[in-house]
């Protein structure tokens, strides 16, 4: 630990790789020099009494000068530190040559000294100057020895030594130059590969987004077909439609995996880790797959003897990672086979999740490659198809959980995948924490037809560059008057020409995309409610758009009834607000009201988790009467104070679910001040069209 600290003094993160290596090397050479001087000083004290008053102080001075190099390194005086090392070493060699017998040939160390500038400097002037000074030092010692011994010391041996210095210097300099050229070439290729990888990742993301639009149309029309009388009276058509819906879900899963896999190496991808009780998590995972395995005639067992074991994990992504492995076990195991899901503690610190099957196994030559992206082992099953991204996605997820994934397999005997994750052993932490249920199914949401009929005269603007998508949305909104725009520019023109009550816009469009379009209508102070309907499901994209102040955000593929409910609720709220505003009851000091509302929203958002929170708390905090409070809120929002409080609570709940800040209905309900989760869930569904944790 101490040596590592000494060797890395001055090695800051902002240094280039080359400079970083030089800093560490200089620290190591300096440390070796200090140690050498200490040892030599001690030896002199015991065996060289004649030079006792000269050599120990000299070694002490050298130790002092060398030690100061660490200070200069820490202060970033790198060039000075390197020159100081060279000078101190130069003096040391020169000095020793006068106190050690000449037949030891200490002057030959000048040859090594000539190489030091090659290690620490790029300038040719400095490196060749170091060579010349080393040669001059070598000659100076020989000349001084000539005067002392009265014998001519510069002979053919001296010239041979100088030639040897120069030859070694030139050889080392050649390889240094060649190495630097190779490093530059590798760095250039590395940057090109990074650009290519970035382009490839973005390409997959863009393609996946493009796939989501036709996927939405397939899913949407399939849902419409399932409600058609022809389907209801024809079991064969119903069966075909079920297959379409199932395959659509499979494609959606592949698309989601591709997008996430492409984003995993970027800063945009973040896991939302929570404490997860592993036993409950795997039980539900087993339950969700049991029917599927039974349909193929495979025994699927869950084995566990541990009760209280938990991990930090993003339940959504960890479930998807395990799903991929279980689906592989299902795919490669024949009817009559067996798959076992279990977990156990390893070394009292790690938890191991094991998925073992009796399938066809994996050949040894493929084992090291199965986690590579888009790689598939060659076998009769894979020839029928597959994306080759499932296991790559699973491994990336496990690594981001600070874990590891291992596989043991033999052909025709089966495979075992082991996911090793850090375990949490604190009992209190486990007992007070629950995690999200992973086996929920999306409830079939029914639109409120009464609301549609009452709002049938509302005008809705659909902004999307995909013609079929616009037609499909218009078909869903048959009770409304719909306008179409191909991009943001056309949409702005339609907003100038018509009274629009609601806007549905895509994100990715030519000329002016959805983000720029929303910014523009906000700049023009257009208050029409806006819903972003897009294939871009990334949380950062969602947050960037929500920060612009839009009213809603829905990703493709979407549930058609959920879209209708969201539009209905937004229109009802907006119509009530407009009616109240047109009644002439708005306060003259609107700006003051807006500031008051902002403060009120912040106060409610912070305090609403308290079950006893209500109007009395607001009246006390803002020193306002109930009647004044009612008037201010009603005039600004069209809502009563209780409705306003409920709206803030629900909006906060929605943000918390989108950011995965909570992982159970009960926890979310209490976090926004509702003591009855079932009642809260109904309010949430009524407001946003789906339950808090319903999957799309």
Q: Residue 678 is part of a domain; what is its CATH number? A: 1.10.10.60
**Distance from C-alpha of 383 to C-alpha of 466, rounded to nearest angstrom:** 34
pLDDT at residue 239 in the model: 75
pLDDT in tens, 245-282: 777 777 776 777 666 666 665 555 667 788 888 888 88
Q: Which of 103, 135, 154 is the last residue of a domain?
A: 154
Judgement on whether residues 324 and 418 belong to the same structural domain of the protein: yes
pLDDT at 586: 44
- Residue range 592-601: mean pLDDT, rounded: 73
Domains held by the chain: number: 4
Q: pLDDT tens digits for 426-446?
A: 443 433 333 333 333 333 334
Do 363 and 461 belong to one domain?
A: no
**Structure-block tokens of residue 14:** 């902002």
- Residue 177 domain flag: no
Share of the chain above pLDDT 70, in %: 77
What is the arithmetic mean of pLDDT over 571-587? 62
Non-local (6+) Cβ contacts of 551 within 8 A are 529, 530, 531, 570
Position with higher pLDDT, 231 vs 586? 231
Predicted local distance difference test score (pLDDT) of residue 592 = 56
Do 533 and 673 share a structural domain? no
pLDDT at 121: 85
b/e per residue 204-241 (b: at least 16 CB within 10 A): bbeebbebbbebbbbbbbbbebeeeeebeeeeeeeeeb
Residue 595 is assigned to a structural domain of this protein: yes
Q: Would you state the pLDDT for residue 567?
A: 86
| Range 63-81 average pLDDT | 90
Whether 146 maps to a domain, the answer reads: yes
Segment 626-637 mean pLDDT: 75
The confidence score (pLDDT) of residue 418 equals: 92
pLDDT at 92 over 50: yes
Domain that holds residue 81: 2-154
Q: Are residues 501 and 613 in the same domain?
A: no
Q: Are residues 358 and 409 in the same domain?
A: yes
Phi, psi dihedral angles at 422 (to 5 degrees): -65, 135
Query: With bands split at pLDDT 50, 70 and 90, how would you rate the model's confidence at 449?
Result: very low
Which of the two residues, 9 and 657, has the higher pLDDT score? 9
* pLDDT value at 691 more than 90: no
**Among 341, 158, 325, 324, CA closest to 256:** 324
pLDDT bin (cut points 50, 70, 90) of residue 419 is very high
In a domain, 263, yes or no: no
Residue 296 belongs to a domain: yes
In this prediction, residues 318-323 reach a mean pLDDT of 88
Whether 101 contacts 70, CB under 8 Å:
no
Q: Are residues 131 and 114 in the same domain?
A: yes
621 and 694 assigned to the same domain: yes
CATH number, residue 354: 3.30.565.10
Q: Which of 104, 134, 154 is where one domain is finished?
A: 154
User: What's the pLDDT at 436?
Assistant: 35
The strand order across the sheet containing 481-485 reads: 481-485, 459-463, 502-505, 530-534, 552-555
Clarify whether residues 6 and 108 are in a common domain: yes
Q: What percent of the chain has pLDDT over 90?
A: 8
- pLDDT one-digit tens code per residue, 139-198: 777 666 555 554 545 566 667 777 877 888 888 888 888 888 888 888 788 777 777 766
Assess if residue 622 is contained within a domain.
yes
Is 490 domain-assigned? yes
Q: Is residue 268 part of a domain?
A: no
Residues 447 and 427 in one domain: no
| pLDDT (tens digit per residue) in 535-544 | 776 666 677 7
Mean model confidence pLDDT for the chain: 77
Q: CATH number, domain at 523?
A: 3.40.50.2300
426 and 444, same domain (yes or no): no
Q: Is the pLDDT of residue 238 over 80?
A: no
Same domain, 450 and 335: no
Residues 78 and 136 reside in one and the same domain: yes
| pLDDT score of 463 more than 90 | yes
Residue 82 contacts residue 88 (beta carbons within 8 Å):
no
Domain stop point among 431, 451, 486: 431
User: Taking a C-beta distance cutoff of 8 angstroms, is the pair 362, 435 a contact?
Assistant: no
Rounded distance between C-alpha atoms, residue 208 and residue 254, angstroms: 9
């Amino acid at each position: 630990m101490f040596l590592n600290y000494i060797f890395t003094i001055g090695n800051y993160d902002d240094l280039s790789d080359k400079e970083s290596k030089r800093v560490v090397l200089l620290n190591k050479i300096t440390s070796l020099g200090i140690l050498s001087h200490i040892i030599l000083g001690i030896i002199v004290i015991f065996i060289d009494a004649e030079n006792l008053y000269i050599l120990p102080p000299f070694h002490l001075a050298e130790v002092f000068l060398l030690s100061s190099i660490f200070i200069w390194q820490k202060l970033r005086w790198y060039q000075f530190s390197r020159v100081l090392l060279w000078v101190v070493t130069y003096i040391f060699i020169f000095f020793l040559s006068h106190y050690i017998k000449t037949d030891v040939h200490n002057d030959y160390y000048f040859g090594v000294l000539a190489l030091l500038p090659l290690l620490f400097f790029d300038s040719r002037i400095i490196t060749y100057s170091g060579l010349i000074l080393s040669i001059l030092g070598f000659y100076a010692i020989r000349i001084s020895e000539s005067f002392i011994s009265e014998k001519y010391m510069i002979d053919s041996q001296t010239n041979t030594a100088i030639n040897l210095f120069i030859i070694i210097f030139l050889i080392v300099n050649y390889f240094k130059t060649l190495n630097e050229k190779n490093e530059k070439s590798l760095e250039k290729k590395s940057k090109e590969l990074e650009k290519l990888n970035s382009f490839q990742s973005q390409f997959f993301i863009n393609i996946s987004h493009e796939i989501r639009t036709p996927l939405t149309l397939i899913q949407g029309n399939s849902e419409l077909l399932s409600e058609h009388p022809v389907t209801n009276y024809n079991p064969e058509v119903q069966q075909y439609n079920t297959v379409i819906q199932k395959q659509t879900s499979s494609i959606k899963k592949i698309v989601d995996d591709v997008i996430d896999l492409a984003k995993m190496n970027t800063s945009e991808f973040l896991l939302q880790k929570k404490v997860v009780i592993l036993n409950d998590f795997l039980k539900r995972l087993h339950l969700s797959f049991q029917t599927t395995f039974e349909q193929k005639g495979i025994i699927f067992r869950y084995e566990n003897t541990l009760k209280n074991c938990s991990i930090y994990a993003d339940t959504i992504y960890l479930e998807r990672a395990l799903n991929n492995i279980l689906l592989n076990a299902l795919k490669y195991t024949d009817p009559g086979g067996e798959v076992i899901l279990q977990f156990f503690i390893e070394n009292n610190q790690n938890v191991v999740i094991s998925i073992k099957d009796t399938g066809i196994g994996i050949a040894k030559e493929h084992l090291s490659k199965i986690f590579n992206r888009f790689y598939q082992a060659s076998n009769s099953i894979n020839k029928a198809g597959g994306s080759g991204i499932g296991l790559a996605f699973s491994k990336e997820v496990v690594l981001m959980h600070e874990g590891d994934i291992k596989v043991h397999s033999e052909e025709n005997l089966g495979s075992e995948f082991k996911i090793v994750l850090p375990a949490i052993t604190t009992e209190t932490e486990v007992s007070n924490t629950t995690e999200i249920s992973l086996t929920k199914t999306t409830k079939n949401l029914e639109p409120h037809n009464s609301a549609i009929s009452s709002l049938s005269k509302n005008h809705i603007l659909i902004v999307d560059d995909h013609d079929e998508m616009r037609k499909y949305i218009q078909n869903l909104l048959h009770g409304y008057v719909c306008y179409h725009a191909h991009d943001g520019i056309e949409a702005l023109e339609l907003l100038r020409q018509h009274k629009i009550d609601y806007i549905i816009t895509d994100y990715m469009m030519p000329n002016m995309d959805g983000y720029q379009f929303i910014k523009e209508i906000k700049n023009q102070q257009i208050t029409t409610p806006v819903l972003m309907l897009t294939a871009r499901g990334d949380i950062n994209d969602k947050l960037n758009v929500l920060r612009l102040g839009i009213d809603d955000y829905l990703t493709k593929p979407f549930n058609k009834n959920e879209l209708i409910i969201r539009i209905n609720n937004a229109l009802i709220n907006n119509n009530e607000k407009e009616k109240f505003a047109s009644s002439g009851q708005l306060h003259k000091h609107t700006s003051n009201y807006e500031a008051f509302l902002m403060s009120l929203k912040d106060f409610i958002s912070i305090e609403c988790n308290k079950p006893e929170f209500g109007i009395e708390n607001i009246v006390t905090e803002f020193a306002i009467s109930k009647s004044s409070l009612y008037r201010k809120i009603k005039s600004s929002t069209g809502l009563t104070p209780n409705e306003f409080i409920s709206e803030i609570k629900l909006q906060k709940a929605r943000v918390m679910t989108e950011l995965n800040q909570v992982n159970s209905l009960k926890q979310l309900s209490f976090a926004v001040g509702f003591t009855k989760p079932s009642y809260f869930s109904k309010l949430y569904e009524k407001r946003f069209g789906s339950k808090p944790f319903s999957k799309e």
